[in-house]
Amino acid sequence: METPNASEITLRCGFCLTLNTVDLAKAGEGPVCGDCGKPILLDRPVKVTEEDFERTVLESGPPVLVDFYADWCAPCRMVAPLVDEIAQHNIGRMLVAKIDADHAAGLLERFGIRGIPTVILFEGGEEVMRSVG
């Protein structure tokens, strides 16, 4: 695994699905996709798939807070506004991501997630904190 720049993250564009390297320290300047030019919005949780987890979360320079959720989960819907607020207040300092647990069985098994919502903070590719429920 390459040593990432302390403020770089790799995100998939929500519009054209191209992977982009984004300097989180410049998030306030309004990063855009290098392919389609659409905005990459970092003031809210970014959807990450199981396919992109390694690159976006574990290889990230800055810390990444990941919310494992499901649309049908009432407690997940209760936690969502708090996760949104964390994203808004930490633009440029950390990435806030969300992963649909219904489409990430491998990650749930890998990290021993048995209940949702589960929120995990990763730094340097390692889990440093976890909250369940």
CA torsion 17→102→65→60, rounded to 10°? Answer: -40
Q: Is 13 a catalytic residue?
A: no
Alpha-carbon span 101 to 68, nearest angstrom: 6
Asked, as a colleague might, if the bond just before 117 is cis with ω within 30 of 0, I would say yes
Please confirm, yes or no, whether 76 is among the known catalytic residues.
yes
Catalytic residues: 73, 76
